[in-house]
Amino acid sequence: MRSDSIKKGLERAPHRALLHACGLKREDFEKPFIAVINSYNEIVPGHIHLRELVEEVKKGIRSKGGVPFEMNTMAICDGLAMGHNGMHYSLPSREIVADSIELWVQAHSLDGMVLIPSCDKIVPGHLMAAARLNIPSIVITGGPMKPGKFQGEDSDVITVFEAVGKVTSGMMTPEELKSLEQVACPGPGSCAGMFTANTMACVTEALGMSLPGCATAHAVDNKKVALAFETGEQVMLLIEKVILPRDILTKDAFRNAIMVDLALGGSTNTALHLSAIAHELNIDLRLEVFDELSRVTPHLCNMRPGGPFTMEDLDKAGGVPAVMKRLERKLFRKALTVSNKTVGDGLKNATVANEEVIRTLSMPVHWEGGMVILRGNIAPNGSIVKRTAVNENMLVHKGPSRVFDNEESAVAAILGGHIKKGDVVVIRYEGPKGGPGMPEMLVPTSAIAGMGLSDSVALITDGRFSGGTRGPCIGHISPEAFEGGPIALIKDDDIVSIDIPARLIEVELSEDEMELRRKKWFQPTQKMSGYLGRYVKHVSSADKGGILR
């Protein structure tokens, strides 16, 4: 066992003394030592309940002869960080999460890991650590939040973000907004729609790194507690069988996960996160793979924010196993999972309980998947749009640009009524380096939607979007403005042309004019200190996953 290096031999007597201080007995030194990586805290709703799950995981480990050690990672709530300086720290935290797990586990020579994340950057951070360390590992995600109820309809945090725009435009009263605030998020769990956290939970299950049914078992559901105990038991089997993350996280597994994501119409942030996880494995996961699979994977689940269904609806319909059952003939069925079964074996008993929520391949919501990669003279290295959250009348759009060099000025213009039907809002210098940290543009996109403009106004950015964004919003534009990408050359009233079916995003300028503007462009001065100062020096572009090099 790896842990023998801290518990066996004469020279390890001091180490054993320290372990006795932690409550261990002599017989425990013959057992595997398991890291239980908790991300509990008291400010992130998706993580406030994780202590209960951790206790069940530890019981499961002990029941199979292991010794669990609980240790914590950080977690940032993207919703609370949104719209202010805090959002610059969200994506960079992913690397801190992964690095902290590496430091914990390597310093203490632990034999296996149970990873317990919930929200947006924490899930990929945990998966990156599993891929990097390659010791027996299993994930249990914290589970979705139940939807709230407001005026007889389902609600969630995106309902509240969009309500700000409704109040601004007179479509809702301030008193109604106050009432909505109190009921939209009724308890623990990751936000109730197919936003980034829940997309990553589904992707984790599709990758084979969590037990069947884990992604959609809700935070307050007894199923989640039972799954936590089973997860603790299962990590011991993985140690016994020497099943490692790199046996599971293969190229085939990534393609399975992408197809499930596309069928669900999930968050565009998965392009960043899956690429970052693949990088840990030396797998080159390019944007072309997402686009290739999007063309042959139908969109089967009309989930919020683009559709009416919540994670609760998906869970009742059969969850990720039911979605994979629909896609079975397209999937790589020999891929291994933490269940010690192949994907194909695991799907033998999977069924679909609701065909409205999980459509058939012959009657999909859309014939192509949820994510589309656009290129053109604005985005030579690619950009991303959630095609399934765009109304049909905006799939092709042409309009004058309204250019902003930061999110704050764009929000002020939107809420101030300065954006008109037909406009294309351009928000730049918000990429991995320029932001820095590639902030999410949920506040401006929600303001546009809330003011009733998402059917007539497009938004493009080198930043990224929340999984809760809907409308013709194109992000991850690469190269970014701070690196001199073409988005930096756009001026007010330039005509921007977007053709999602044709995978094109262009500004109607000649190459001579572009070159003239390029010669006049200069990189803005950026004064950064602390972690962000170090981050800017090493972060890659969005099309490479925003990883640190």
Q: List active site positions.
A: 466
**15 exposure class (CB count in 10 Å sphere: 0-12, 13-18, 19+):** middle
Sheet architecture: strand order including 458-461: 371-374, 382-386, 473-478, 458-461, 424-427, 396-404, 495-499, 504-507
Helix (H, G, I), strand (E, B) or coil at 463: coil
**227 exposure class (CB count in 10 Å sphere: 0-12, 13-18, 19+):** buried
Distances (CA, A) of 360 to 85, 308, 324, 430: 44, 17, 11, 39
- Backbone φ/ψ region at 439: left (φ over 0), alpha (ψ -120 to 50), beta: beta
Sheet architecture: strand order including 112-116: 67-72, 33-38, 112-116, 137-139
Which of these, 112, 104, 347, 344, lies nearest to 231 by C-alpha position?
Answer: 112
Buried/exposed code over 449-463 (b: 16+ C-beta within 10 A; e: otherwise): bbbebbebbbbbbbb
- CA pair distance 336, 320, nearest whole angstrom: 16
Which of these, 126, 127, 180, lies nearest to 149 by C-alpha position?
Answer: 180
- CA pair distance 263, 94, nearest whole angstrom: 25
Contact (CB, 8 A) for 546 and 435? no
Handedness of CA 51, 201, 154, 323 (dihedral sign): negative
- CA pair distance 494, 490, nearest whole angstrom: 7
What 179-186 contacts at long range (C-beta under 8 Å, 24+ apart), as own/partner pairs, is 179/150, 180/150, 180/155, 183/148, 183/149, 183/150, 183/155, 184/148, 184/150, 184/155, 184/156, 184/157, 184/159, 184/160, 185/45, 185/145, 185/148, 185/156, 185/157, 185/160, 186/145, 186/146, 186/147, 186/148
DSSP code for 281: T
Beta partners for 497? 398, 506
- CA pair distance 84, 89, nearest whole angstrom: 10
Contact (CB, 8 A) for 94 and 75? no
Which of these, 178, 146, 269, 252, lies nearest to 208 by C-alpha position?
Answer: 252
Contact (CB, 8 A) for 468 and 474? no
HSE-CB at 212 with a 13 A cutoff on CA atoms is: 21
